[in-house]
């Protein structure tokens, strides 16, 4: 306050912002971040955030779900639904629309006859003057499975992110008739975006399939940033992807929280959360708890671990059409 007792709103806001940045930069405990935001809120929604249970900003997540549902003409109706096909002459992957595609639109999907899933594209890849997608713009995260039959609700999930904007540009979540079908669709999606993919390497099916198709190079090497999160250093010998250990998952959840609450640009009230267009991903984030099965959250975690590992590496000779 000033000497007359008037609140200095702008100075107070700057102080809270600096404290928030310090907490996010230095804490390794996601719940501590949520608690600080709830105790020093910038909005009524932040004041009502739950500290226990999910570590994610549930009220903002629910508001974003409602906003997407209320504006289908801007979001769902502008999605690209179709298939990724192979040109037999050039071996290039190309996109073709298909009105029969049925991506999974909700979580949980209780109808087991509707879980095959399809690709949803929000933004097609950026290409250079020669029609190629520059390497380094797009990264991916994957949560996979190995078995064709399952008594669980587990799905495979892959997300693609534009590192220049922080936006998710494509999603493929589903469980087709065979695991190889899931792997092949994932392979084509990675190739279409020329993306490097981080995956939970506890299961070997995805690596085995991509290696057989001479595509294992699209899986990232084990990120350097996970080395100090692993007590059993033998897990680093897997070479590709990230082990799904409890400490790594906990740390990765913190990365998700930071990403969700990160402004799209300095000083903006628009957060990366507000750029997420996948309703089932938002539903998983809202329902998340440590003992549940949340495949999209797992894939998002893998992607953000790779993003963290690459944060000081800037793609060369790349333009940003969003600036």
Do 156 and 302 contact (CB within 8 A), yes or no? Answer: no
Does a structural domain hold residue 318? no
Query: What is the rounded distance in angstroms from the CA atom of residue 138 to the CA atom of residue 297?
Result: 18
Inside any domain, residue 200 = yes
What is the tens place of the pLDDT at every residue in 212-228?
A: 999 999 999 999 888 77
**Residue 139 · residue 196 · CB < 8 Å:** yes
Half-sphere exposure of 190 (CA within 13 A, CB side): 26
In a domain, 248, yes or no: yes
Reported residue count of the chain is: 323
CATH number, domain with residue 141: 3.30.420.240
Mean pLDDT lowest for which of 31-35, 153-157, 279-283, 294-298?
31-35
Determine if residue 98 is left, alpha or beta; phi over 0 gives left, psi from -120 to 50 gives alpha, anything else beta.
beta
CA distance 77 to 189: 21
Instruction: Write the pLDDT tens digit of every residue in 147-183.
Output: 765 555 689 999 999 999 999 999 999 999 899 999 9
Domain count, the chain: 1
DSSP 69-108: HH-TTTTGGG-EEEEEEE-TTT--EEEEE-TT-----SSS
Q: For residue 40, tell me if it sits in a domain.
A: no
Residue 12 lies in a domain: no
Q: What range does the domain containing 263 cover?
A: 74-309
**Considering only CA atoms, which of 126, 128, 129 is closest in space to residue 138?**
126
Considering the domain boundaries, does residue 149 fall inside one?
yes
How far apart are alpha carbons 156 and 118 in whole angstroms? 11
Predicted pLDDT at 182: 95
Report residue 323's pLDDT band, with 50, 70 and 90 as the boundaries: very low
Q: Decide which of 204 and 220 is more confident.
A: 220
Residues 6+ apart with CB under 8 A from 288: 54, 55, 56, 294, 297
Given a contact cutoff of 8 angstroms between Cβ atoms, the answer to whether 147 and 122 are in contact is no
In the sheet that holds 93-97, the strands lie side by side as 93-97, 80-86, 119-121, 167-174, 156-162, 138-143, 196-199
In a domain, 191, yes or no: yes
Does 284 map to a domain? Answer: yes
**Using an 8 Å Cβ cutoff, are 250 and 301 in contact?**
no
At residue 136, the pLDDT reads 92
The model's pLDDT over 242-287, given as tens digits with 9 standing for 90+, comes to 998 888 999 999 999 999 999 999 888 999 999 999 999 999 999 8
């Amino acid at each position: 306050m000033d000497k007359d007792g008037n609140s200095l709103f702008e100075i107070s806001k700057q102080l809270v912002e600096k404290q928030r940045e310090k907490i996010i930069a230095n804490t390794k405990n996601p719940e501590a971040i949520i608690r600080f935001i709830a105790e020093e809120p910038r909005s009524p929604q932040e004041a009502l955030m739950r500290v226990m249970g999910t570590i994610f900003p549930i009220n903002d997540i629910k508001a974003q779900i409602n906003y997407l549902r209320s504006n289908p003409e801007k979001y769902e109706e502008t999605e690209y639904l179709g298939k990724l096909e192979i040109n037999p002459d050039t071996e290039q992957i190309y996109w073709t629309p298909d009105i029969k595609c049925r991506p999974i639109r909700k979580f949980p999907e209780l109808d087991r006859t509707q879980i095959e899933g399809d690709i949803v594209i929000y933004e097609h890849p950026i290409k250079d003057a020669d029609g190629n997608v520059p390497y380094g713009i797009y990264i991916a995260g994957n949560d996979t499975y190995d078995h064709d039959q399952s008594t669980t609700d587990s799905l495979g999930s892959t997300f693609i992110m534009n590192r220049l904007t922080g936006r998710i540009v494509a999603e493929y979540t589903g469980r087709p008739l065979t695991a190889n079908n899931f792997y092949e669709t994932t392979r084509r999606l990675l190739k279409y975006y020329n993306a490097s993919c981080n995956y939970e390497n506890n299961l070997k099916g995805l690596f085995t399939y991509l290696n057989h198709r001479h595509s294992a190079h699209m899986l990232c090497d084990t990120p350097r940033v996970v080395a100090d999160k692993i007590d059993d250093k033998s897990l680093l010998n897997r070479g590709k992807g990230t082990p799904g250990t409890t400490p790594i998952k906990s740390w990765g959840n913190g990365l998700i929280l930071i990403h969700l609450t990160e402004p799209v640009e300095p000083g903006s009230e628009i957060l990366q959360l507000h750029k997420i267009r996948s309703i089932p991903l938002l539903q998983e984030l809202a329902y998340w708890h440590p003992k549940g099965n949340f495949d999209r959250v797992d894939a998002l975690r893998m992607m953000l671990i790779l993003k963290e590992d690459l944060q000081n590496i800037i793609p060369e000779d790349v333009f940003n059409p969003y600036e």
